[in-house]
Amino acid sequence: MLTTNPTSHLTLRSSHSSLPSQSTTLHCHPIHGKPMIQKPQISTQKTKIRTIRAVISQDKPSEPVTSLPNQATGIDVKAVITIRKKIKEKLTEKIEDQFESFLNGIGRGIVLQLVSNEIDPTTKSGKRSRESAARGWLPRPLDHPYIVEYAADFTVESDFGMPGAVLVKNLHNKEFFLMEIVIQGFNEGPIVCPVNSWIASKEDSSEKRIFFSNQAYLPSQTPSGLKDLRQNELNSLQGNGKGERKGYDRIYDYTTYNDLGNPDKDLDLSRPVLGNEQRPYPRRCRTGRPPSKSDPLTERRIEKPHPVYVPRDETFEEIKKATFSAGALKALMHNLIPSLIATLSSTDNPFQCFTDIDKLYNDGVILKTEEGKGVFSSLVLPKILKDVISTGKRLLRYEIPTIISRDRFAWLRDNEFARQTLAGVNPVNIERLKEFPILSKLDPAVYGPPESAITAEHLEKELNGMSVEEAIKEEKLYLLDYHDIFMPFVKKINSLKGRKIYASRTVFFLTPAGTLKPIAIELSLPPTPSQPVNKHVYTHGHDATTHWIWKFAKAHVCCNDAGCHQLVNHWLRTHASMEPYIIATHRQLSSMHPIYKLLHPYMRYTLEINALARQSLINGGGIIESCFSPGKYSMEMSSAAYKSMWRFDMEGLPADLIRRGMAVKDPSKPGGVRLVIEDYPYAADGLLIWCAIEDMVEECVSFLYSEPNSITRDSELQAWWNEIKNKGHADKRNEPWWPKLQSKEDLCGILTTLIWIASGQHAAINFGQYPYGGYVPNRPTLTRKLIPQEDHPEYQILLTHPEDFFLSSLPTQLQATKIMAVKDTLSTHSPDEEYLGQLHQTHANWINDQRVLSTYEKFSARLEEIDIIINKRNADKSLKNRNGAGIPPYELLLPSSEPGVTGRGIPNSISI
């Protein structure tokens, strides 16, 4: 049973029938703490008589209620339910709350029914107790003011058996949040049903909700009395694929990305559907909204501030909203961004000098708003300072990003430009150069000769006397290749106002110090009749002109890197790809399935944050389109990347490193790979996290599936994996590379990949966005000018005012300020973050299996050790990519963090 005491400890009690009574203590803040599992103290005796905390009025507050067998009429048992009330209530809500308490007190609010594991010979389903109302007049609150308990009394027959489920019916006119049910009175000990779910009002849903105990069962192990309930609950979550979803629904279903455009508002905001043969994409959660009036293929938009449907239990909890994630993101999109536009759009000029950029951190931006209201009323941005200037104005002042807080000129240096490919916010595109010349895979009839314009002569003057062939053989050459992904879109993007890009390739040389040095950049445009080969190669130079042009070339590479990072590596490979896994898990794995229980912490809030992104970030005219180079073609480019390069079997860290040539197979090394560049911070630290996850998963799977062929006989598991492939990633369903699911090894690989994507991979490419991208020149998200050739009129401007030309090529002040605000928000940890290896209090009684709990405890302890190892690496002076003058330590894969923009910390799930 979950209780709280004055010292704010949470106690978990397990009721595994084959184990002694046991308890595990979590130390945490009573509501939004970050609890860590403490080693359980296991009792040596079974307790025949269980005591529970009394909450009903007839019990004396200081005396516990005791449940005893009644030989004449059966067994007297009690079910205690824990309810979380709303934290912030309006006056009308407080009155309603009192009325609800009154109804509960007289037994007219919540009705419960116990269901046995045993079959009733008459009904051929689980034995059921009589219905009993939860009572409490008035409920005595626990130590936290927002949590209350009620109790329902039952008398069951002596041969009733152990309850395996509880049916709950809400008689109120509004929903309530049920945290947990604990059944007391059976000799085997208390039975815990973890709930953490919204129970819809009687007006919205008349069905009884089903909640199982925390005893995990594979489908074949399901007690006879629970088999029909197990399937019924899955059926209710799957729905029938029809109708528009309501806010109280709990339906998980698939549909395409057909809600990004808004042609009813403006035909220029029309966007193609993603999720078909032409434009493949992962599926999203279906909302069932009607089509738009202007385009029958496009779903009608739900614009801010109205919410987009996600299943009720996927929405942010009030605690989350009250702290950061929902409130800040919504306020950012609904209030701050419009205010920035109103303030700066009339004078949306480029930065005139670097001092203008510095003013964003020193002086801030004065925002003009109506009577000073609306912008910051609900906005919580820990790293953005807000001050009242005068009536009708607010000051937005940014925190100095990490990249310039230690060395404001670091971004100018080639070694920092190269270092960030290994230890920056996007360290997943660098690859080893294996063949020369570099070749494109695009159709030469459309895009010209496949050979890169980078020649051996370009490279060899920087190879310390080596030939290109020797450098490739000795693993000294590396490539950042954004040619094929951008080239099909270059012409369309360059036709947009204020957008000019190239397809780019950058070659690096590995120095004896273990650092990379950029030695050649190729910038390409599509061929034209007059210029069938439109490729330019830039290298280092020692004169002023070449020096500045090299800076421009690097800026274009950074722009492509920022676009690929956001649209492919961040959104597509973590957020979008994770959504089908979550939908399939709820549709095909029962909540009593051990794999569902194992995956549950890694799915929290992802559907909600993705829905918010579709509404305000990746939609037509949204932040990504307005602030990144691909503009209105952003999501089409993301779809093209999904089509050409996304493979599930390559999404695990070791496989991805091998694919990019950054590692080779070596069974003696962590993760079974040896890094080609030893000082590769993302990979080195990531492998520590990967191996910890892998070992935890392997240990759990080993005893959950101990019988031969138990994987192939698990009907739910097989349906889950088939649905991920055939529905969740339907456009890729026929690919031969999908892993089989026939053995424990197969299952371990799949689960480790899923958990890694949700936790370590997302953290590594998300929480460094503001530390590295908060200073626009370091990572410009768009470029507005091409590099002029000598015969171009702008070439003279470049020669006479190179700094002005450089700044005029970067995002405007409005674009830069908007993207800085978004990156600050997306890089911020909320105060109630749930980090890897930590167990949230609402997930405390997740499973009744001491073997799994012990494994998770070891996992938690191992992550604490990893924290120490990474800190030692960051202090190692021989590791030049994470230590040195002005170089920030690589902390993105440190498991835990404080709130705010910290550049560290691995949350369990993709929640921002």
Question: Which positions are catalytic?
Answer: 570, 575, 762, 766, 912
With tokens 């009903």, the residue in question is 56
Report the run of H or E that residue 154 belongs to, with start and end. strand 147-156
Residue 9: DSSP 8-state = E
Distance CA 418, CA 679 (A): 13
CA torsion through residues 720, 655, 828, 274, sign: negative
Report which of 606, 522, 645 is spatially closest to residue 320, judged by C-alpha positions.
Answer: 606
3-state SS assignment for residue 672: helix
Cα 505 to chain centroid distance, Å, stands at 30
The two three-digit tokens of residue 460, written as one number: 């060899």
Q: Where are the alpha helices (DSSP H) in 345-499?
A: 354-362, 402-405, 414-423, 444-447, 456-460, 468-473, 483-494
The answer to whether 882 and 890 have CB atoms below 8 angstroms apart is yes
359 Cβ neighbours under 8 A, 6+ residues apart: none
256: buried, middle or exposed (CB in 10 Å: 19+, 13-18, 0-12)? buried
Distance CA 685, CA 891 (A): 9
Distance CA 448, CA 451 (A): 9
CA torsion through residues 676, 678, 679, 680, sign: positive
Report which of 908, 309, 321 is spatially closest to residue 608, judged by C-alpha positions.
Answer: 309
The answer to whether 691 and 682 have CB atoms below 8 angstroms apart is no
Which residues of 553-644 form beta strands (DSSP E)?
none
Residue 97: CA atoms inside 13 Å, Cβ hemisphere, count? 18
DSSP result, 610-633: HHHHHHHTSSTTSHHHHHSTTGGG
With tokens 């020669």, the residue in question is 799
Report the run of H or E that residue 653 belongs to, with start and end. helix 653-659
The two three-digit tokens of residue 383, written as one number: 């790293």
- The pairs formed by 415-420 with CB atoms below 8 angstroms and a separation of 24 or more are 415/515, 415/516, 415/517, 416/887, 417/518, 417/554, 417/558, 418/508, 418/515, 418/516, 418/517, 418/518, 419/515, 419/516, 419/881, 419/887, 420/772
Distance CA 165, CA 192 (A): 10
The answer to whether 841 and 814 have CB atoms below 8 angstroms apart is no
